[in-house]
Structures are given as C-alpha cells and as structure tokens.
Amino acid sequence: MHLVNNNDRSVSSIPPDNWRPPLVTLETSMGKMVVELYWDHAPNTCRNFAELARRGYYNSTKFHRVVKDFIVQGGDPTGTGRGGASIYGKYFNDEITPSLKHT
C-alpha cells in the first residue's frame, strides 16, 4: 500500500506543517481503497499515517488481520501486528473521538 501523491513533492523533502492530504489511496493486490483522513479530530495520527505512506514505509506490507465483513489491519513491516514505528518515536498518544464512526 502507498500514498498516491497529488503533487510532485520529492519524497526526500520534509512537508510543511500545513501539509494535510485529505485522502490516501491504498493500492493492493485486490484493488484500490480510498481512506479519508480526519485531520481535525486526530492530527497526530493522520500526519503519522500520511507521512509514513509518503516515505514508502507501507510499500509491500501485508494485511496481517482480515475478518470478513468487519476489519482489515495492516502496515506492520513484520507482518505480525506487533511491530512498526511512528514518525514521533516508538509511541504517541491515542486520539480517540467517540463521535466518529469507523466504516
């Protein structure tokens, strides 16, 4: 999976603080999925996901958990759901907004 860039910004450059792509397209062996990012509700989570995608971090990673009609989870380079990194270091605080539905 990877971020489909909407501009010619070099992957090696650092995006400005106001860089906020609203959508990320995941290109998989089963087709494309478009993910909408909720920057106003989870800015650190969105920036982490979009920046790692921009860097190619998720390229060739697998969905390590697939439950039909419920959920897919992926993005862990170890393929186990226990590894991975963030742009902030090992951990950063969850940004949970109960009013958002995950569909």
Q: pLDDT tens, 26-84? A: 888 889 989 899 999 999 999 999 999 888 888 888 888 999 998 888 888 888 888 77
Residue-range definition of the domain harbouring residue 27 = 1-8+18-103
User: Does residue 65 sit within a domain?
Assistant: yes
Question: What is the chain's length?
Answer: 103
CATH number at residue 59: 2.40.100.10
Q: Which H or E run includes 48?
A: helix 43-55
**3-class DSSP assignment, residue 52:** helix
User: Does residue 13 sit within a domain?
Assistant: no
Which residues are CB-neighbours of 97 under 8 A, at least 6 positions away? Answer: 38, 41, 42
Q: Taking the C-alpha atoms of 93, 43, 28 and 61 in order, what is their torsion angle to the nearest 10 degrees?
A: -30
Rounded to two decimals, the pTM is 0.78
User: Does residue 46 sit within a domain?
Assistant: yes
Number of domains within the chain: 1
Give the whole-angstrom CA distance, residue 66 versus residue 63.
7
